[in-house]
Structures are given as C-alpha cells and as structure tokens.
Chains A and B, each alone.
Chain A
C-alpha cells in the first residue's frame, strides 16, 4: 500500500519535473528572448508581485464569481430538466431534438452572438457559462434517472410513495453518481468557458488579465495566469468530488467478509 503511494507520487512528478528542468535549461543556456519564454525566476517574481498588489486575487474573485453564478443556474435547471426528461417519456420527446441540436454547437461558437445580444458585461460571461455547463449536467442527470431499475420503482409503488417521495427516495439517489459526473464536467467547462469569454471580450477577470498581458508582451504574467487557471480547475474538481463522497456514503461502504 505504502509502496504504491510512493510509486504514484514518483511517476506522477516525473513529467512536471522534466518540463521544469527543460524550461530552466532553455532559459539559462538557450537564446530564447524572455518576451517569448521568461525564466522561472522571472515568472515566480511576477507571481509574487501579482499577489502582493492583490491583482491576482481580484482577477480570480471576479472570474470565480462569474463561474458560480452561471454554474449554479446550470446545475439547478440542468438537474431539473434532466430529471423530468429522465422520468417522463413525453417530456423527453418534447425536448430531446432541441437539446441534441444545441449541444452540437461548441461553446466558443456562441460567443459572437452572445456579445451581440448581451454586450461584453457580466451578463454575457454568465450566459456563456450557462450554455457550456447546462448540457453536460442535463444529459448525465437524464441518463442517471433513466437507469433507475424498474424493481426499485415497483417497491416505491408497493409502499404507495407519492410522486415527490418516489423522486426523492428512489430516482434521485439512484441518479446521484451520474449527476456527479455531470456536475464535474459542467464545472470544468464553466471554468474553461469563463476564461475563454474573458480572453475575447472583457475588462476584468483572469482571462482578461492574460489577454492584456499578451498585448503588453508580459509573457511572465501570461504564464502565471495559465498555471493558476490550471490549478484552480484541479481544486474545483477535487472539491466537488469530496462533497459528493460525503453525500453518497453507500458508495464508499466496503464489503465486510
């Protein structure tokens, strides 16, 4: 067990360390201009400055609050419509064609239209996040609801549960693992969507910071932002995983022999 963890850590660290070593080597002994690839010390310097001026925190808070707004909306309506579609054939027939078509449009392709309609303010970012996160949540919720075994539904009928009780005590817990998958995917794409939207049209946020730094040739700031975006994505993903482990204890229960 302990050996396995060691192995996991060592193998997992191998590539990042190699990249850092190569980066260090190229910027120290190579002849790449620092405007294209800054040295590690320059990037960490930029990181410290951005933290101490509070700029990084400010950008992150702006971007995260946009994600939370759009994500909360997507999660609520995605689970709602996904549940209805998963439990009722008629509702599914009504929405399925539209959902299937809209899903095929990449999130990036919505940006021009959304900017025309909503401008480049807060609203446009939130709408883009909603468009990105809504469908993975919807589709996974729906498939989780549909996978509810007929036998469990029969048990609910046997004990005369009303529609709401049947939903909360049979369909919903059965679909939870799938809903988790949808929420994880949704959160991932929300974060990507907000950065993409801010890159193209924004005056605040971590994406805007990147785009602004690029136009001023501050490659160190661009790299800091990219690393932070990546780490934030990982943190969000882990966080939501931990929350779900807590609310689905039966999945963790181990077989006792």
Chain B
C-alpha cells in the first residue's frame, strides 16, 4: 500500500505504449502509435503537431472522453476509465452553454456542492480569470477572449489536479491570444495545476511549455520531447527562443512537403 501510494504521487499522467485506431470505412487507421508520456505534478506540457496528427485524441484519452484499446493510461495513479472531477478540460470553441449565465456555466461541474460553497468557488475563479462583474451575463454577451476565460474558470472550478487545453486560443485574434497566454501562465503559477495544452502554434508551445511534445502525423507518434529553459523560452525575441523554434520547424520540414502552407497555418 505504501509503495503504491508513492507511485500514485509520482505522475499525474502516465501513458505507456498507447496505440489508438479508428475504424474508417471498415479500415483500421492508426491514429496514435506507441505513445509514452509521463507528466509530473505542476508541469506545463505543450503538444504541437499538424492538424489531424491525433493530438486532440490523445488529450481526450487522457480525460476519458475517448477510450483506448491497448497500452496503459493512468491519471492520478489510476487507469483512466472515463471522465472524472479531478480532470478539467478547455476546448477551442469555448463550449459554454448559451442558456446558462456565466456564473452557472463556471459552476456547471459543482452541482453537487451546497449553494454557498458553490457560489464562493465560482466567485473565486471568476476573479482569477478577470471576469468579476460578469456573473449574470450570458455567453453570447462576451467576446471570444472573455468566453475562453470563462471556460478556463469552469475547467478549474472543481480544483482538478490536471487541466487539459485543446487549442484553447486557436480561434482568438493574435493580440488577445498573447494576452491569454500570459494569463494562463500566471494562473498556472498561482494555482500550481498541472496543465497540458495542445496547439498548432509553435510560438505558443515554446512560450508556455516546460516540455514540448513534438508529434508527427498519421500515425501520431512522439518525435521528441523538448525540455525548455524556463528563462529563454519566456522571452519571445531571444536567441534561445529562436533556436527552439528552428528545432521544431525542422521536424515539420522533414515531415511534410507542403511546409509553407503549414507554417502559415501555424502562425
């Protein structure tokens, strides 16, 4: 028991030899191949790759929305069998329910708590993402960036050990996106929540990630896991930043002939 306990605390996410296939037109297609990834408590992991490389599927497997056939996927020390309250998720389209006020959207996963406690948590998280005063607004009254903040507040409201972010800033304009990147970093540091973000924006991956997981497309395989220097990677203009960028670009040079298209897409 004592040994197991120790193992529990070591990794928030432990993935070993994971393979995932989808059946398309009766043909099995490899989506993920031989994925091995261990994520420690408090880490910020970014996963970067082409559209359709299976990175979103990987994220959904981590949170239990998509099942897997073989390999080991453990979250908080237990095999993942479905969604759980200790794992929050933020999607690209904010997915706030349009018929609920912001406070009810943020408190959506807290329905089992007593009212006072729920309200307190909602208020705390709204304040954390800078949406105090918008409790009674409806999602369509908020801008894209604000809606995404509310979605982050919803993801964090029930104090998950891990927050999974599936291209959360992909639909935002460039300026808002940079602002949101700074915000999520601040929240990550303040809350200490483990975060995993899927992105196709290489700059974003470098800026946010303690480690960057570079994935190839079809089948999705991990090419490299790059550990970033916490000082260099936070300076967008630094030579260190440029070096990381070049290193990641090289994978996609090798990978795809239509690189220029993808680079445009990534930016």
Question: Could you list which residues of chain A lie within 8 angstroms of chain B, going by C-beta atoms?
Answer: 151-152, 154-155, 157-160, 165, 169-170, 173-174, 176, 248-250, 253-256
Contact = CB atoms under 8 A, between A and B. Distances in A.
Contacts of B97: 152, 155, 169-170, 173
Contact of B109 (A159, A176, A249, A254): A159
Contacts of A151: 91, 93, 95
Interface in B104-157: 108-109, 111, 137-141
Interface of B: 63, 65, 82-85, 89, 91, 93, 95, 97-100, 108-109, 111, 137-141
B165 to A, nearest CB: 13
Q: Which of A155, A165, A174 has the most CB of B within 10 A?
A: A155
Given A151-B93, A154-B65, A159-B109, A250 B83 contact: no
Contacts of A254: 141
Nearest to A165: B111
A255 B141 contact: yes
Contacts of B89: 158
Of B63, B84, B91, B99, most A-chain CB atoms within 10 Å:
B99
- Chain A binding surface, main DSSP class: helix
Contacts of A170: 97
Interface residues of chain B: helix, strand, loop or mixed (majority): loop
A173 B96 CA distance: 13
Contacts of B83: 157-160
B98 A250 contact: yes
Contact of B99 (A159, A250, A255, A256): A250
Contacts of A160: 82-85
B99 A155 contact: no
Contacts of B108: 155, 159
B249 to A, nearest CB: 32
B137 A253 contact: yes
Given A158-B63, A158-B89, 16 more contacts: A151-B93, A151-B95, A152-B95, A154-B91, A155-B108, A157-B65, A158-B65, A159-B85, A160-B83, A165-B111, A170-B97, A173-B97, A176-B99, A250-B100, A250-B139, A253-B140
